């Protein structure tokens, strides 16, 4: 059996990290330098696929530290580890296809696009019903395009229902957490996304803060509701462990509404999604062009959004659902911009 370092999600750093760096900095040389390793990883995982096109073997950590997993077995997640592994094969193949296209490697782009589609189809045929039963299953189906286009909305509804039925508490481990809030937002369930974000009960981000956290814990319940340390998990109990900190990506892109629309923030997307009773939010990013920033506030029925784009960049503004603006849309130039919207 291959070493556990080849487990899905962890090994996929070979594709995820270079793509994230390219998106953040826009340096094509990053992709060019890392493309051989990206391609090698996908070829390695493709060679592990079973006859039905899914990945069920190899040492898997799965949706590690799903809050329902017993302390002695962190890999015993509610979401099938074979489904998770197969979903990541499809995801990494899609990332390599996109990188190949950016690098002008048309044949590779086509090859890995087709591989991604085949694996996604196989995953859905085998685990489509199961995927709807867990937050991680739904989130990966949506964000990795495992669910067919016609099933995307129903899976989003299933995910939102899972959140509501769980009292707004999160039900994901290391591999599901980065995708659950984006999946809710992308399928129109912003209210449920904020319900997860602002939940103060265990498990949840604000639960950790309410119990004195200044850094992310490795376990959602590293400190129990009664204030005691989770000693049953003492062999793996870090109080400074980034995994659940992946929520920061959603805070920037959806709560504040600041994201790159082109690699390196050459084009900036301003698309705030207010909710959860928040009255204001702001964020800024230091790009290679300068500081890109956005800030919004709500007063009564009025939403005011202000943004600044650094020299040499352009942008686009997308008004949130439920708000209308008299200002025309279109491309934005560098400089300061302001929109005043009214609740519909």
Backbone angles phi, psi at 58, to 5 degrees: 70, 155
Q: What's the Rg (C-alpha) of the chain?
A: 21
Tens digits of residue pLDDT in 202-223 = 999 999 999 999 999 999 999 9
Q: Which of 2-16, 159-173, 247-261 has the lowest mean pLDDT?
A: 2-16
Tens digits of residue pLDDT in 87-140 = 999 999 999 999 999 999 999 999 999 999 999 999 999 999 999 999 999 999
CATH number for the domain running over 257-343: 2.60.420.10
pTM of this structure: 0.95
| Domain ranges (residues) in the chain | 4-248, 257-343
258-260 and 267-270 strand pairing: antiparallel
**Res 5: pLDDT:** 61
Is residue 22 over pLDDT 80?
Answer: yes
pLDDT band at 58 (very low <50, low <70, confident <90, very high): low
Residue 123 to residue 85: CA distance in whole angstroms? 10
Which two tokens mark 100? 């190949």
Q: Are 136 and 63 in contact (CB under 8 A)?
A: yes
H or E element, residue 219: none
- From the centroid of its chain, how far is CA 214? 22
Q: Are 261 and 315 in contact (CB under 8 A)?
A: yes
Residue 244 to residue 257: CA distance in whole angstroms? 20
Task: Decide: residue 72, CB within 10 A, 0-12 exposed, 13-18 middle, 19+ buried.
Answer: exposed
Q: Are 254 and 182 in contact (CB under 8 A)?
A: yes
| SS3 state of residue 324 | strand
CATH class, 4-248 region: mainly alpha
């Amino acid at each position: 059996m291959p070493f556990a370092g080849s487990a899905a999600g962890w090994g996929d750093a070979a594709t995820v990290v270079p793509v994230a760096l390219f998106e953040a900095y826009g340096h094509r040389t990053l992709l060019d330098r890392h493309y051989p390793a990206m391609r090698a990883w996908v070829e390695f995982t493709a060679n592990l696929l079973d006859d039905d096109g899914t990945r069920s073997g190899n040492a898997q950590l799965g949706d590690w530290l799903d809050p329902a997993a017993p302390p002695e077995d962190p890999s015993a997640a509610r979401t099938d580890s074979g489904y998770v592994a197969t979903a990541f094969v499809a995801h990494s193949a899609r990332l390599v296809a996109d990188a190949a296209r950016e690098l002008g490697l048309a044949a590779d782009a086509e090859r890995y696009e087709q591989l991604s589609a085949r694996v996604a189809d196989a995953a859905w045929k085998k685990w489509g019903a199961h995927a709807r039963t867990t937050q991680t299953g739904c989130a990966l189906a949506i964000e990795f395009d495992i669910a067919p286009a016609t099933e995307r909305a129903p899976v989003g509804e299933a995910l939102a229902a899972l959140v509501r039925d769980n009292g707004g508490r999160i039900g994901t481990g290391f591999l599901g957490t980065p995708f659950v809030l984006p999946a809710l937002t992308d399928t129109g369930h912003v209210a449920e996304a904020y319900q997860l974000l602002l939940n103060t009960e265990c498990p949840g981000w604000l639960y950790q803060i309410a119990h004195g956290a200044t850094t992310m814990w490795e376990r959602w319940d590293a400190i129990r509701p009664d204030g005691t340390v989770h000693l049953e998990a003492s062999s793996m109990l870090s109080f400074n462990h980034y995994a659940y900190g992946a929520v920061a990506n959603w805070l920037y892109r959806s709560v504040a509404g600041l994201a790159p629309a082109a690699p390196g923030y050459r084009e900036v997307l301003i698309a705030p999604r207010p909710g959860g009773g928040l009255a204001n939010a702001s964020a800024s990013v230091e790009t290679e062009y300068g500081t890109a920033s956005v800030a919004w506030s709500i007063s009564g029925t009025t939403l005011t959004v202000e943004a600044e784009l650094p020299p040499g960049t352009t942008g686009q503004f997308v008004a949130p659902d439920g708000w209308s603006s008299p200002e025309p849309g279109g491309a934005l130039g560098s400089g300061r911009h302001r929109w005043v919207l009214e609740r519909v």
